[in-house]
Amino acid sequence: MLSSAIGTVKGPGETLHEYNFIAPDPDRQLKHGEFVYYTAPVDGSERRILGRITDRAAVKLFPDTFLADPSVPPHTVAAMLGYESNATELFEITVTVLGYYDECLYDFTNPRVPPQGGAPVFIAEDDMLTDLLSRGRQGELGSAYIGDLLSRDPGAVPVALEVRGFTSTHLAIIASTGSGKSYLAGVLLEELMMPYNRASVLVIDPHGEYDTLQQVQNMESFRDLGYSPKVRIFRPQDLRVRISSLTLPDLRYLLTNLSEKMHYQLGRAYRYAQRTWGEDKYTLEQLLRAVREVGDGAQSEDEAADDDPTTGALIWRLGAALGGSGIFHDFENLELDELFQPGMCTLVQLNEVEPRQQQVIVAALLRRVYQARIDTERGKIQRGERNHVPFPVFCLLEEAHNFAPANADAVSSDQLKIILSEGRKFGVGVGLISQRPGRLDSDVLSQCMTQCIMRITNPIDQNRIAESVESVGRDMLKELPALSKGQVIVSGASVNTPLMLRVRTRRTEHGGEDINAPAQWRHWFENEQPAQAAENALFAEKELERDEDGMLWA
Amino acid sequence: MTDQIGVIVNSNSHIDYVCQLHGPLEREQRPPPDAYAFGSFVAISLPPFPATFQDTGQSPTAYAPCLIGVVYNSMLVNPNFSNLGPRLSSQYEQTVFSPDLLDETATLVGVLALGWQDSAGPQQGTPRLAAEVGATVRRLTGEEVKQFHRDARGQLSLRYAAAILALNNSLVPALLLDIIDRLGTFFPQEQAILQVMRDNVAWKSIVQPAG
């Protein structure tokens, strides 16, 4: 327990909510982002006013010329000149005041009582920070323990997000490749599957790297009195989207390079099909027939295709986009009760699926679950019906910039925006994971109220974060390029103040490992090449035999 | 042979003394030039003066209280300088008829007090006691210079450096460089530390002013 003062207040800082203090800091405790406090009277009682270190400048250092020879420590030069004290450094530390924690508001309140000059400054104790920084409590209902405070020893200050916060007001995980975003997402999913959360989660997994989450089903730590989490994986070949569940914008998005006339005819055909066979009840064949029905050419099937180029082209495009794909189906669909269930994590793997189809699949899934939640909440759907979803759901989208790209239209963008702005009312939460925030729609990013930001070095991406993420201060954003793998800045609705964390170790294995190319190349030389050489030798021998025999082999 | 070079005749401050070198009428043998050369370390006797003061020709005892200083300046005093009027007697006649008039020419050296010596041994820093007019000034031996630059733990010590640099005298940087060079021969094992300090002073006094 640290209780002795580590510095002395010098005076107010540049802005109203800053102050500076002077500290020798021989043990290098006062790191950037560390938490310190001073005491001040608030409403008649002494309160600890917490603050975060945002800057550190040296006010006393050895002269540069003392550092001229690397083999001569500067303190020996100073000692020769008669300065024998160990106090050779002094720092001016800038602190941004967070305030004292108000138990009624569940937030920090800045009392606007500046510290007195000369007042002692203390480093916040681990226990105090554990109590004040996290909204959730490790292992309690509605908490997600994702890691420890970076400025302290591992495990000293565990930080648990409030699951309620990010499942209702959405989450963004932003990080460059290789900085551990999938790992962090894995940690979050593990926490959501814990007995104290039992969440209903859908993961859109374009790379198929979350397979290892299946291990939670066999781990004792995820079980509790009759509860055992389920992980269901829909591989690309298992995906089914009923053609009649696609909307007109979905169809238009799937069929590229449509002329205006084709757009018009497709719209008429779509409405014709809905009118004739009922919403959500027609097949591809019936849709094609509708195209012919509303076409300009003759009404007979064969004639229409031959005579009217628009009808012919539309039919060809529909056939190519929907008929040739194993995903779009006349009757089968991924039913919501198969996808969503409390205590179940559903992985929808979209690897090997064409990008436009991925966007349509995601848009269709999100639209259906959102509509189902609205209908369930409003009592339009009763228990026993297929689309009855009487519980909140959380959807995690990997490579979110593909589903809500900036400066480009994607059919999934609009649906995401609707859910991000309205979803909290109906219990549909979205988590977006992206390595290119610069390519992610800024509206989409700014609607995510909990942000987990890992190392970002690209300046365009950094600017997009600065524009879209208000809760992270500029001082924190400066840290982005300096973060190491597995270190994350968490801010927003699920924590009490922006925090720099060290992500905890996953209980399940991580599936997002890179391919070890040199090892595989070496493996090829050691195993594959000899085998291939043996085969070639065998083949050459056979050829030789044939030559000697003079026979021609088939 | 004596190591005495002269007596204190004036002071400009608590640490800045003026020593008049022994002239031909005081000593048979005048002090050799290298005894009062720029950067020579000297001891200024403190009261009570040693009984040997009265021309016994012996040095003060090793631990007699004294100030330890360094020669940093020299001045020549010549009353006849610019006295170009008519004379009744020639220079030679003056040596015969008025030798004490010739004695008015003198060599003065400026001595900066860098520390002191008492029964506890040599100490660096601003001395508490001041020398008096007439206090003898003697040259320090090489061993005494070495002793003066060693602190209580036996480490090389140059505590007076900052104090004399603060005097803002144009001769001080050169003085310090000279001292450091000499100390390098006394303390070869501390050469690296001295070199850092030498480079520091040289940079500030040679490179920066010319830049």
Distance CA A420, CA A412 (A): 12
Please report whether residue A339 resides in a domain.
Answer: no
Distance CA A295, CA A179 (A): 54
Q: Do A53 and A74 belong to one domain? A: yes
Report strand pairing: A328-329 vs A241-242: parallel
Give whichever of A35-39, A456-460, A507-511 has the largest mean pLDDT: A35-39
H or E element at residue A100: strand A90-102
- From A486, A503, A520, give the residue that closes a domain: A503
Give the SS3 label for residue A551: coil
Q: For residue A301, what pLDDT is reported?
A: 53
* Separation in Å, CA of B17 to nearest CA in chain A: 23
pLDDT of residue A323 exceeding 90, the answer is no
CA distances from A447 to A451, A469, B68, B172 (A): 10, 9, 78, 69
User: CA-based angle A69:A74:A77, to the nearest 5?
Assistant: 95
CA terminus-to-terminus distance, chain B: 48
CATH number at residue A480: 3.40.50.300
Give whichever of A229-243, B135-149, B196-210 has the largest mean pLDDT: B135-149
Cβ(A291)–Cβ(A301) below 8 Å: no
Q: Do A317 and A371 belong to one domain? A: no
> Minimal CA–CA distance to A133: which of A164, A155, A104, A101?
A101
The answer to whether the Cβ–Cβ distance between A72 and B196 falls below 8 Å is yes
pLDDT of residue A307 exceeding 80, the answer is no
CB atoms within 10 A of CB A479: 17
Q: Given phi > 0 = left and psi -120 to 50 = alpha, else beta, which region is B155?
A: beta
Asked if A79 is an interface residue toward chain B (Cβ–Cβ < 8 A), one would say yes
Instruction: Among A6-10, A456-460, B4-8, B100-104, name the one with the lowest average pLDDT.
Output: B100-104
* Average pLDDT along chain A: 86
SS3 content of chain A, % helix, strand, coil (to 5): 40, 25, 40
Q: Which residue of A has its CA nearest to B191?
A: A72
Instruction: Among A360-374, A427-441, A529-543, name the one with the lowest average pLDDT.
Output: A529-543
Overall residue count recorded for chain B in this entry: 211
A246, amino acid identity? L
pLDDT of residue B75 exceeding 80, the answer is yes
Give the SS3 label for residue A250: helix
The string of pLDDT tens digits covering residues A254-287 is 888 888 888 898 999 999 998 888 887 888 888 8
Which residues on B lie below 8 Å from A77 (Cβ)? 193, 196-197
Distance CA B131, CA A348 (A): 95
The answer to whether the Cβ–Cβ distance between B192 and A69 falls below 8 Å is yes
- pLDDT category, B120, cuts 50, 70, 90? confident
State if pTM tops 0.80. Answer: no
Using CB atoms within 10 A of its CB, is residue A371 exposed (0-12), middle (13-18) or buried (19+)? middle
pLDDT of residue A300 exceeding 80, the answer is no
Please report whether residue A332 resides in a domain.
Answer: no
Please report whether residue A62 resides in a domain.
Answer: yes
Say whether the peptide bond before residue B48 is cis (omega within 30 degrees of 0).
yes
Tokens coding A166:
């990010």
- pLDDT category, A3, cuts 50, 70, 90? low
Tokens coding B211:
């830049």
Give the SS3 label for residue A501: strand
Q: Do A382 and A484 belong to one domain? A: yes
Which residues on B lie below 8 Å from A82 (Cβ)? 124-125, 157-159, 162
- pLDDT category, B71, cuts 50, 70, 90? very high
Q: Which residue of A has its CA nearest to B156?
A: A80
- pLDDT category, B84, cuts 50, 70, 90? confident
H or E element at residue A245: none
* Separation in Å, CA of A80 to nearest CA in chain B: 5
pLDDT of residue B61 exceeding 60, the answer is no
Q: For residue A91, what pLDDT is reported?
A: 94
State phi, psi for B204 to the nearest 5 degrees: -70, -30
Q: Do A207 and A287 belong to one domain? A: no
- pLDDT category, A108, cuts 50, 70, 90? confident
Q: For residue B53, what pLDDT is reported?
A: 44
Please report whether residue A28 resides in a domain.
Answer: yes
Please report whether residue A260 resides in a domain.
Answer: yes
> Minimal CA–CA distance to A357: which of A299, A402, A308?
A402
Q: Is the dihedral of CA A524, A529, A530, A531 positive or negative?
A: positive
Q: Do A253 and A392 belong to one domain? A: no
The string of pLDDT tens digits covering residues A47-96 is 899 999 988 999 888 888 889 899 999 988 888 888 877 778 899 999 99
User: Which ranges of B75-171 does DSSP label H, i.e. alpha helix?
Assistant: 91-97, 99-102, 142-148, 160-165
Q: Do A395 and A476 belong to one domain? A: yes
Which residues on A lie below 8 Å from B179 (Cβ)? none
B4, amino acid identity? Q
**Residue whose structure tokens are 């009744």:** B88
pLDDT of residue B193 exceeding 80, the answer is yes
Which residues on B lie below 8 Å from A79 (Cβ)? 155
H or E element at residue A287: helix A284-294
A204, amino acid identity? I
What does the H/E/C string look like for B29-97? CCCCHHHHCCCCEEEEECCCCCHHHCCCCCCCCCCCCEEEEEEEEEEEECCCCCCCCCCCCCHHHHHHH
CA terminus-to-terminus distance, chain A: 85
- pLDDT category, B55, cuts 50, 70, 90? very low
CB atoms within 10 A of CB A386: 12
Q: For residue B41, what pLDDT is reported?
A: 96
H or E element at residue B110: strand B106-118
Using CB atoms within 10 A of its CB, is residue A379 exposed (0-12), middle (13-18) or buried (19+)? exposed
Q: For residue A104, what pLDDT is reported?
A: 81
The DSSP secondary structure of A6-58, one letter per residue, reads EEEEEEE-SSTTEEEEEE--TT----TT-EEEEEEEETTEEEEEEEEEEEEEE
Asked if A69 is an interface residue toward chain B (Cβ–Cβ < 8 A), one would say yes
Interface residue of A69, A81, A83, A84 to substitute, partner B, most B CBs within 10 Å: A81
Q: Which domain holds residue A253?
A: 242-323
Distance CA A434, CA A455 (A): 12
Cβ(A306)–Cβ(A161) below 8 Å: no
Q: Do A90 and A26 belong to one domain? A: yes
CB atoms within 10 A of CB A253: 21
Q: Do A379 and A436 belong to one domain? A: yes
Q: For residue A314, what pLDDT is reported?
A: 87
Interface residue of A67, A69, A80 to substitute, partner B, most B CBs within 10 Å: A80
Tokens coding B39:
């950067």
Distance CA A408, CA B135 (A): 95
pLDDT of residue A539 exceeding 90, the answer is no
Cβ(A361)–Cβ(A247) below 8 Å: no
Instruction: Among A139-148, A371-380, A441-450, B60-69, name the one with the lowest average pLDDT.
Output: B60-69
Please report whether residue A196 resides in a domain.
Answer: yes
Total domains present in chain A: 3
Q: Do A405 and A486 belong to one domain? A: yes
Q: Do A69 and A17 belong to one domain? A: yes
* Separation in Å, CA of A74 to nearest CA in chain B: 9
- pLDDT category, A548, cuts 50, 70, 90? low
The answer to whether the Cβ–Cβ distance between A66 and B200 falls below 8 Å is yes
Q: Do A205 and A296 belong to one domain? A: no
Distance CA B123, CA A82 (A): 12
Distance CA A432, CA A400 (A): 5
Please report whether residue A508 resides in a domain.
Answer: no
Using CB atoms within 10 A of its CB, is residue A468 exposed (0-12), middle (13-18) or buried (19+)? buried
> Minimal CA–CA distance to A217: which of A202, A200, A234, A232?
A232
Distance CA B201, CA A48 (A): 49
Looking at the partner chain, which of A68, A72, A80 has a beta carbon nearest the beta carbon of B157? A80
The DSSP secondary structure of A539-550, one letter per residue, reads HHHHHHHHHHHT
Q: Do A274 and A365 belong to one domain? A: no
Which residues on B lie below 8 Å from A66 (Cβ)? 196, 200
What are the residue ranges spanned by the domains of chain B? 4-148, 158-211
The string of pLDDT tens digits covering residues A124-176 is 999 999 988 888 888 888 899 999 999 899 989 999 999 998 999 999 999 88
